Structure 1
Amino acid sequence: MKLVDQKIVEKKMPARIMRNNLFKGIFFIATCFGLVVLAVLLYRIFTQGIGYLNMDFLQNLPSRRPEQAGVKTALIGTIWLMGVIAPVSLFLGVGTALYLEEYAKKNKFNDFVKVNISNLAGVPSIVFGLLGLTVFARALALGNSVLTAGLTMSLLVLPVIIVASQEAIRAVPRELREASYGMGATKWQTIVRVVLPAAIPGILTGGILALSRAIGETAPLLVVGIPLFIAFTPTSIFDTFTVLPMQIYNWTSRPQEEFHAVAAAGILILLVLLLLMNSIAVIIRNKFQKRY
Structure 2
Amino acid sequence: MMNWLFAYVALGLFTGLSAGMLGIGGGLVMVPVLAMIFASQSSFPSGDVLHLALGTSAATILFTSLSSLRSHHQHGAVIWKIVAQISPGILLGTVFGASLASAVPAEPLAVIFACFVLFAAVQMVFNLKPKPNRQLPGRIAVVAVGGAIGCISALVAIGGGVLTVPFLTFCNVKMQKAIGTSAAVGFPIALGSTLGYVANGWARSGLPEWCLGFVYLPALAWMVPCSMLMAPAGAKCTHKLPVVVLKRIFAIFLVLLATRMLLRLIP
TM surpasses 0.5: no
TM-score normalised over the length of structure 2: 0.32
TM-score normalised over the length of structure 1: 0.30
Q: Which has the higher contact order (CA 8 A, sep 6+)?
A: 2
